[in-house]
Each structure stands twice: as structure tokens, then as C-alpha cells.
Amino acid sequence: MMKLYRHITIFILIAVTAILFSCTENKAITAVSISENDFKIELPKDQIVTNNGIRVPFTTYDKKTYSLLDVVISGTYGTTVLKTQLKDEQLSVYIPKEITQHAGMIEWELMAQQKTLQKGTFQLLPNLKKLHAIENYAGPRSIIANDRDYTMLVSIPIDHLDNLLPDHTPLKMSYQFKGTITNSNKQIESGFAWQRIPAPQSTGRLITGSTMESISSKELVVDVFPDIPVSFNITKDSNHNYADGNELITLKTDQIKDPYGNVLTDGTLVTFYIHDDLGNTWNTTASTVNGYAFAKALHPQSPSTWTVKGVITGMVESPELDIKFQSIIDQIPVSIDQNNTITIGPLTSYLGQIIPDGIPVTLKFKDQEITVRTKNGMARHIFDQQFNESGNYEVMITTLGKSTVKRIELR
Amino acid sequence: MRKNKLLYRSFIILAFLSINAGIIYGISQVMAYLNTGADTSKMLHLDLKRTNYYVPEVNWISTTNPGRPLEPANQQKIEQDYLDAWYVKNLALENNNFDGIYDHYTKSAREKVTALIQYNTNENLHIKSTTLSHHITLEFYSADGTIAVLTDRNVTGIEKIYRNNQFLKDQEFNEDYRIILLLEDGFWRVRHFEKLAVNKTVTNDKTIPLETGLIKGINYYPQEHPWDTFNEKVDSTILTNDFNIIKDLNLNTIRVFVGYDDFGKATVNDIKLKRLETLLDHAHKADVKVMITLFDFYGDYDMKNWTLTNKHLKSVVSRVKDHPALLAWDIKNEPNLDFENRGEEKVLSWLSQTIKAVKKIDSIHPVTIGWSNTESALKLEKEVDFISYHYYEDVDDLSAAHKALENQTAKPVVLQEIGLPSYDGLWTLNGKDQQDQAEFYKQLLDTQKRDRINYLFWTLYDFDNIPTDVAGSLPWRKNKQAHFGIIDATSVKPAYLLIKNN
């Protein structure tokens, strides 16, 4: 029994010493104090960006304690911490591509045991030998043909690792309009070059682009639209000027143009406001095609005079146009037969032809107003004997803007 | 039997009703859930309410540019989106995830950010960082308002590097950047970012002297409103009366507390500032100096919120920094009590940056930290202008403790809080009565006079209602806290006369 205890004690003793020993061995490294002179990095110079990373060698180093080193490095997009590597008897630190791809200032600091040993900065420069593209931005993408408006072209050239190029790098910015090419030589400033392109005075498509050494931008197109139109005239077009309630009259504009002679953009809405001498107002609209707008309106049924005005809302309006419509009948033939049937017609039009079917004829009889419609130029109404006592009555007949009074006798 | 039947019946009816109520509630919740987001106005993110989460100091140096004038609304939008770009990048580097990067970086820029985060993830590195100030110049704003080129100089801030969740290093930075932003989907997104220059960080090693004779003072709260000095009911009458008493006690200094929440966090309430000014005016009239303790009841030291505390501080400090009654700034009351919960390193780095932020605004008033004991008192000794500590140990050892501190620093040492409650009630085993308190003060004042100690005692009044966040809800703690005064509800305690005749 005693023996067993002894064994256990010995075992524990061995274990404890082993643990202690291993601890002290670990401490052996951490306990070393590293001084500023133990490690020296070969100061990185300003250099071109690379996607291969950058290896920075040490000029002075200590092979025993180098594992305690940390290199804190900050680029444009953030900070990271690097470890050193001993390879072929040379200690170095490898700055990964995540840092070395981006142009800008790089700050580095060599530290060990919470102590800064060495620090510095260097600059990563864009690679002017490996250009990638020019990013162009044009806007506004639609402008007005006049002497006030303009669009702007901004060019941002980048190298193959998406870095901005340095100031004063030359660049050619161009635009083409109707065969005329305008080039201008610009310099990059703050990473970009820009140009204001004044609007041409005619409509069309303005094409822009930039070039620089071997690289060029995509084509960007700016549409030039006509300016606010100048005043226009309207005319009418109709087969006849009779108020037949059947014919369509066409209201037309001139070709509408802006002050520079550019035809108004297709699809611009022109509203024709119509009011007549009977106090009615209405409108009809049409959109332009090649600067012209055509709108239709139905002839009135009564002789009247229209005043028409063409308006492009918020922009311009035409002078007024007067249109006269004459009546198509001179008189209203009326007859009444023995069955108390009143017959109006035949109503004939300006050629003597029968008027279109469905024209309303109003009869004012006693206190009633009765409307009947024509068919084949005739309208009929039977006065019901049950409601109307026999005798003489006065009937007023109105149709197509004419009225006549007729005395009738009901049986 | 009948009774039982009735009972069962009513139980069943009740159960039926409550099950039905539950079902209806459930259905209504589902309906409500399905209806949210159906509002068409939400499709455009127009009515997103912005809360303060990242408000570093931003100065627009110039918006004059050859492209197009910058309208105020667009300037605000650019500023917000640009700061958000920093914020999401900071968060991404801290958590090593890409949340928000999509919204604030264009495709090509996004790849650059995510590449670095990927690298740090693999190395198990976390980087906490925040910017604190920006100085933006608008270089260019395109005619169609979709490109903005900014130069942001002297972007100051701080970052802390953690490897395997172990703190490795913190560093301040002061850098210049060029940024090209594009307006995409209604967001100003970063297209290019380039660090142009690395500047020296501003260090402040000038110590501001504590310009006053020996401080004899009091930690002040109004009688009816303890821990609520800037309550609307604390009017001129109360202040005049209290300052008369303080004058009568032959004291020359008071210490007051500005609550972080009470004053409105990042967006400081102007009414509260006015009340603070009123208090200072009364103090000045009474010829009493005021030490203002900031950030009372603030407990979150996270770097994410530093811009918020800085904004709060800027409003308070810049408002009263020229007031003749102002003596000094106390950054925080007893921050060492948060070491355990929040981590010492986190608390200290917040204190350190906050000291700098105060000094940046007010370069004439000294700054201190109200440590709760002598052990912590020398933390950040290099950064404060004078040392403050609180002493609730045995008054016999005060002299030695104070001298020990003085021997370790060249800066003035202030005993910022000391006192004894005269409470001998139900909850105490060996309570002190008013006579004991008088004894205590006699000994304190003797020591103070002999050693010429700057002191502020705790406090003027006994308080009726102690807020629970001060001393918890345990009655023995509360009662103790309530009887630290030298004036009770009805009359002055013996200690009063001792202080008066000191």
C-alpha cells in the first residue's frame, strides 16, 4: 500500500516538473526582450501596385525571436497584421495582394511585445503601363438644342487593378455631332477629367468618347431634343361648312418648330380648345408627328360659329381660328293627316339629298316637349286621342337649328 | 355537487373563451404580419427614419466646384451615404462579414473591401475602428448630379486590432482620402477610395493647471431632486437658496453631474443646456466654481458609439466652456467600477479618446476622471490635468493614502468625494448617528487642513427618494445613500457647523 502511494507521488512529481519545464521553455521566448536594433526592415520604396504581393526583406534580424514579430500594415481599405517568414536564411515579410493592389499610402509598423520597433510609410502608385479602361459618364443624357443647355462628360481612366491615375496624365475627350468631331486634350486631376459639351442648335444624337494611349471608353450617346416651340398657326379642313351633324372637320397645325428650326418632338400633345357662339366649350387633342398635329371634330347640327385655339400646355398657343357653319335646311315641311299623325319632312340637305338618319326633331306641344328622330328624311309623331281633346293646337317644330310654328287640328 | 357543476361549467366556458381569444389574436398577428410591407410608399426608401448611429464631426471645407452647385439636400444625402460607407466598412472589419457593403460600395470597390475582410478572416484578425472627424472638400459634382468627387482631409480616428480575440494594438490615425462616389439606385456608392496621405496624429501633452486656491467643495444635488439636478422644478429660488447655504459653509466649489441620457444622448436637449447655464450663472453670482462631471449613467464604452458620445460632449462643452464659473471637466464618475463588466481596456480607451475630444473643444479648463478609489486614481495619469479620487475607507488612513498619491504624480490631486452617512436604523448593524458623522468630519477637516487637501464632500442634503439606478433597490443600501447629507429634512446636522467654521 505504501508503495503505491510512493509511486503516485513520484508520478505526480514528474508530471509537475515536466509541466513546469515546458512552461519555462515557452517563457524562454517570451521572456526575451527585443530591442529596436535587433530587427531592421529594408525600407520599402514608393512603387507600382502589383497583384503579386510585395516581399520586404529584413536587413537585420534574429533567427531565434523573429516569431514574436508582427507587422501592422494599413492600406486604403483597412488594416491587417502580417507575420514574418524565414526562408533560405532570409527573413522577410510578405505584403499580400489584398494590400498591394490598391494605390495609395501604405503605413507599416514593425512591432514585438507591444513595442514599436520600426515604422514608416510608402506609396503605391498606379500602373501607367498596364492601363485597363476609361470609365465614362455622360449626363444629362438628354439635352435641349439651344444656347443655354449642356451636357457633361466625365472620364475616369483606371489601371488594370482598378486604380485612379495620377494628376496631369493626358487624355483626349471627343464628341461627334452630325459628322463634326470635336476633340479636346485634357489632363487628369483628382483622378478624373471632365468636359462640358454645349448643346448643338439642331436635334440629333451626340456621341461621346475618350481615348488615352491604348485604351478607350465606351460610346455614350446624348440625345438632343428641340427647344420650346415658337408660336404656330392652325387651319381647318372640311368637305363643306354645313352644320349637318355628320361631317368630320379636321383641325391642323402648321409644322411646329423651335426657334432654331428644329421640328417639335413626335408625340407632343396639342390640345384644340373649341368654343362656339352658343356658349358651349369642348376640346380635342392630337399628338404631333413630324411637327404636325391633326385632330378631328364632328360638325355641329345647328348653324354656329366656332373659335378654335391650339395649345401646347405650358409652352405655346396658336392664334384663334374662326369657323362658320351654315344651316342645311331653309324650311321645315310639315303635314298632318286624319289620324292625328304629324309628319315632318322630307328634310333635304344642301344638295337636295335626304339628311342623315337620326337627326332629332323637337315638337313643343302644349306643355310637352317631344323629340323624334328622322328616318329617310322623315320624322313622325302620332298625337294620342286619349290624352288630347279635339281642337286646334299650336306646335313648334325645331330641327337642325331652324324652328317653325304650325297650327294643327286634332280630331 | 351543484357548486362543483357550476365550477366546471364556468371553467369550460372560460377555457373556451380564452382559446378563442388566443386563436383570434393569432390570426390577427398573421394578418398584421402579411400586411406589413404592403405599403406601396415603402417601395421607395423615402420615409426611412434615420437614427443617430454614426455621427463623427463633419466639416465641409468647401462645396465650390466647377461642375454644378451642391444643393443642401444633396449635400446632406452625400454626407450621410459617405459616412455610412465608413460605418459599414468599420463594422465589416470588426465582424468580418459583408453586411451593408453591398449598399455602399459599387461592384468593383466592393471586391476590394471584401478581399481584405476575407484575408483578415483567414488570419483571425478583427479590427475595431471608428472615425471621429472628417474635413470634406467637394472637388467635383457632375451636371446630372450622379458623380461626386470628395477629398476628405484629416480623417481622424482610432483602430484596435485583435488577433484570435486577443487585443494586439491600438492606433490613432489621421489621414487624407480621395473618394469618388456614384449615385446608384438612390445610394451614393463608393466607386474609388484612395488614401492620399498619412498625417501626424495630434498629441496633447500640455497640462492645464487647476487655477484655483485650495478646493473646498461639495458634490451638489438639490434636496428634492437627487441625481436630477437639471429637473425643471429646480428653479432659481432653489438654486439661490442652496448657493447661499454653500456660501454660508465657506465653500468655493461644487461638483455637478450631467447625465448622458438625461441630456438627450447624441442630440443634446437645449432646455437642459439652458438649465446648466442657469446653474452656472447662479454659481458665478455666489462666487462658487463648478466642476462638471460628464457622462453620468453612461455605461456603454463600445467604439461603435464613440461618435455619439463625442457629439453629446461637443454640445455640452462648447456651450459652457467660456462660462466664468466653470472650474474643470470630470469625464466620468467612477469609471473603474465598469472595468469588470466592460473590460478595463475598453473603458480606458474610451476615457482616453474622450479626454482628447474635450481638450479639442476646450483648451483652457483642466480635465480629470473621478476614480472611485486610490488604486485606480493614477490610470491615464499622463492624460488628465489633475487626479481625482473618491475615498470611502477609514478616515484614519486618508492622510497616508493622499500623500502616497501625491508622491506618484506631479499633477494636483483632488479628493473628489468623501462623506459618511448618519444612518442608524433597522438595516444597519453598526450604524453611525449624526454625532459619529460630526466626529468623522472633524477628523477629515483636521487632516484636510494639515495636509492641504483639495476636497469635495458628499453631500449637502439627506435625500428622500434615491433613484434605483444609483444604489439599487435594497433598503439598507438605499437608506445609507439617503443620509450622507449634512442637512436633514428639518435642520442642520452637527457636521454642518464644523464645516462652516473650518
Q: For residues A287-307, b (16+ Cβ closer than 10 Å) or e, as one string?
A: ebeebbbebebebbbebbebe
CATH superfamily of A334-410: Immunoglobulins (2.60.40.10)
Look at the domain A131-225 and name its fold: Immunoglobulin-like (2.60.40)
- Listed range (A116-125, A313-322, B44-53) with the worst mean pLDDT: B44-53
Interface test with B, best of A70, A79, A114, A151 (most B CBs within 10 A): A79
Cβ–Cβ below 8 Å for A105 and B198 = yes
User: Packing angle between helix B306-320 and helix B270-285, nearest 10 degrees?
Assistant: 40
Other Cβ atoms less than 10 A from the Cβ of B114: the count is 19
Cβ–Cβ below 8 Å for B127 and A79 = yes
Cβ–Cβ below 8 Å for B168 and A99 = no
pLDDT score, position B428: 67
Element (H, E) at B239: helix B236-248
Please tell me which of the candidates A98, A152, A190 has its beta carbon nearest to residue B116.
A98
Residues of A in contact with B169 (CB under 8 A): 70, 72, 111, 114
Residue B145 CB partners (closer than 8 Å, separation 6+): B68, B74, B183
- Residue A244's pLDDT band, with cuts at 50, 70 and 90, is confident
Given a cut of 80, whether residue A145 has pLDDT beyond it is yes
Cβ–Cβ below 8 Å for A191 and B120 = no
Instruction: Give the distance from residue A19's alpha carbon to the nearest chain B alpha carbon, in angstroms.
Output: 24
Q: What percent of chain A has pLDDT over 70?
A: 92
Q: Is B238 helix (H, G, I), strand (E, B) or coil?
A: helix
d(CA A258, CA A288): 14
How would you classify residue B242: left for phi > 0, otherwise alpha for psi between -120 and 50, otherwise beta? alpha
Cβ–Cβ below 8 Å for B168 and A81 = yes
**How is residue B501 written as a grid cell?**
467654521
Instruction: Give the distance from residue A23's alpha carbon to the nearest chain B alpha carbon, in angstroms.
Output: 20
3-state secondary structure chain A: CHHHHHHHHHHHHHHHHHHHHHHHHHHHHHCCCCCCCCCEECCCCCEECCCCCEEEEEEECCCCCHHHEEEEEEECCEEEEECEEEECCEEEEEECHHHHCCCEEEEEEEEECCEEEEEEEEEEECCCCCEEEEEEEEECCEEECCCCCEEEEEEEEEECCCCECCCCCEEEEEEEECCEEEEEEEECECCEEEEEEECCCCCEEEEEEEEECCEECCCEEEEEECCCCCCCCEEEECCCCECCCCCEEEEEECCCECCCCCECCCCCEEEEEEEECCCCEEEEEEECECCECEEEEECCCCCCEEEEEEEECCCEECCCEEEECECCCCCCCEEECCCCEEEECCCECCCCCECCCCCEEEEEECCEEEEEECECCEEEEECCCCCCCCEEEEEEEEECCEEEEEEEEEC
The mean pLDDT value for A369-388 works out to 86
Report the side by side order of strands in the sheet with A294-298: A234-237, A248-253, A294-298
Chain B's closest residue to A142, CA to CA, is B144
User: Cβ distance A143 to A265 under 8 Å?
Assistant: no
- Residue A25's pLDDT band, with cuts at 50, 70 and 90, is very low
Cβ–Cβ below 8 Å for B143 and A137 = no
Cβ–Cβ below 8 Å for B142 and A154 = yes
d(CA A55, CA B15): 76
Residues of A in contact with B139 (CB under 8 A): 190
d(CA B7, CA B98): 61
Chain A's closest residue to B193, CA to CA, is A76
pLDDT score, position A26: 46
d(CA B137, CA B150): 6
Given a cut of 80, whether residue A11 has pLDDT beyond it is no
Element (H, E) at B293: strand B289-296
Half-sphere exposure of residue B368, counting CA atoms within 13 Å on the CB side? 29
Cβ–Cβ below 8 Å for A72 and B195 = no
Cβ–Cβ below 8 Å for A103 and B129 = no
Half-sphere exposure of residue B220, counting CA atoms within 13 Å on the CB side? 30
Q: Could you tell me the residue ranges of all domains in chain A?
A: 40-125, 131-225, 234-324, 334-410
Residues of B in contact with A223 (CB under 8 A): none
Residues of A in contact with B117 (CB under 8 A): 78
**How is residue B363 written as a grid cell?**
483648451
Cβ–Cβ below 8 Å for A191 and B178 = yes
Q: Is B149 helix (H, G, I), strand (E, B) or coil?
A: strand
Given a cut of 60, whether residue A83 has pLDDT beyond it is yes
Other Cβ atoms less than 10 A from the Cβ of B289: the count is 21
Pairing of strands A142-144, A220-225: parallel
Interface test with A, best of B198, B199, B200, B303 (most A CBs within 10 A): B198
Please tell me which of the candidates A98, A163, A192 has its beta carbon nearest to residue B149.
A192
Q: Which residue in A123, A163, A110, A108 sits closest to B197, CA to CA?
A: A123
CATH superfamily of A234-324: Immunoglobulins (2.60.40.10)
Please tell me which of the candidates A72, A101, A190 has its beta carbon nearest to residue B161.
A72
Cβ–Cβ below 8 Å for A104 and B196 = yes
Instruction: Give the distance from residue B95's alpha carbon to the nearest chain A alpha carbon, in angstroms.
Output: 13
Q: What percent of chain A has pLDDT over 90?
A: 62
The mean pLDDT value for A304-323 works out to 94
Look at the domain A40-125 and name its fold: Immunoglobulin-like (2.60.40)
Largest CA distance in chain B: 96
pLDDT score, position A410: 79
Residues of B in contact with A99 (CB under 8 A): 116
How would you classify residue A331: left for phi > 0, otherwise alpha for psi between -120 and 50, otherwise beta? beta
d(CA A261, CA A277): 36
- Residue A28's pLDDT band, with cuts at 50, 70 and 90, is very low
Cβ–Cβ below 8 Å for A76 and B161 = no
Q: What is the DSSP letter of B490?
A: S
Cβ–Cβ below 8 Å for B143 and A104 = no
Residues of A in contact with B115 (CB under 8 A): 97-98, 101
Residues of B in contact with A194 (CB under 8 A): 66-67, 140, 142
Q: Which residue in B357, B307, B264, B304 sits closest to B58, CA to CA?
A: B307
**CATH classification number, B216-500, choose in 2.40.37.10, 3.30.450.20, 3.40.50.1110, 3.20.20.80:** 3.20.20.80
The low-confidence residues of chain B, meaning pLDDT below 50, are: none
pLDDT score, position A16: 56
Largest CA distance in chain A: 155
Cβ–Cβ below 8 Å for A77 and B144 = no
pLDDT score, position A27: 44
Residues of A in contact with B147 (CB under 8 A): 137, 154, 192
Most confident segment among A49-53, A111-115, A335-339, B477-481: A49-53
Interface test with A, best of B113, B194, B198, B201 (most A CBs within 10 A): B194
**Beta-bridge partners for B130:** B158
CA angle A163, A165, A168 (to 5 degrees): 170
pLDDT score, position B40: 66
User: Cβ distance A56 to A18 under 8 Å?
Assistant: no
Cβ–Cβ below 8 Å for A139 and B123 = no
Instruction: Give the distance from residue A126's alpha carbon to the nearest chain B alpha carbon, in angstroms.
Output: 11
Cβ–Cβ below 8 Å for B173 and A74 = yes
Higher pLDDT, B407 or A30: B407
Interface of A with B (CB under 8 A): 70, 72, 74-81, 96-99, 101-107, 109, 111, 114, 121, 137, 139-141, 150-152, 154, 156, 162-164, 190-192, 194, 196
Q: What is the count of residue pairs from A and B with beta carbons less than 8 Å apart?
A: 121
Instruction: Give the distance from residue B346's alpha carbon to the nearest chain A alpha carbon, in angstroms.
Output: 17
Q: Which residue in A343, A346, A332 sits closest to A376, CA to CA?
A: A346
Cβ–Cβ below 8 Å for A191 and B192 = yes
Instruction: Give the distance from residue B60's alpha carbon to the nearest chain A alpha carbon, in angstroms.
Output: 18
Contacts within 8 Å (CB) and 24+ apart, B60-64: B60/B136, B60/B137, B60/B138, B61/B135, B61/B136, B61/B137, B61/B153, B62/B137, B62/B138, B63/B138, B63/B141, B64/B138
d(CA A325, CA A303): 5
Q: What is the DSSP letter of B418?
A: E
Please tell me which of the candidates A72, A104, A151 has its beta carbon nearest to residue B169.
A72
How would you classify residue A317: left for phi > 0, otherwise alpha for psi between -120 and 50, otherwise beta? beta
**CATH classification number, B57-198, choose in 3.40.718.10, 3.90.700.10, 3.90.79.10, 3.10.450.240:** 3.10.450.240
Please tell me which of the candidates B143, B191, B194 has its beta carbon nearest to residue A104.
B194
Q: Could you tell me the residue ranges of all domains in chain B?
A: 57-198, 216-500
Chain B's closest residue to A137, CA to CA, is B147
Cα A170 to the center of its chain, rounded Å = 32
- Residue A302's pLDDT band, with cuts at 50, 70 and 90, is confident
Cβ–Cβ below 8 Å for B193 and A77 = yes
Q: How many helices (H) and strands (E) does chain B have?
A: 14, 13
d(CA A165, CA A230): 48
Cβ–Cβ below 8 Å for A76 and B194 = yes
Interface test with B, best of A71, A84, A93, A105 (most B CBs within 10 A): A105
Cβ–Cβ below 8 Å for B119 and A96 = yes
User: Cβ distance A171 to A212 under 8 Å?
Assistant: yes
Other Cβ atoms less than 10 A from the Cβ of B117: the count is 25
Cβ–Cβ below 8 Å for B125 and A80 = yes
pLDDT score, position A1: 47
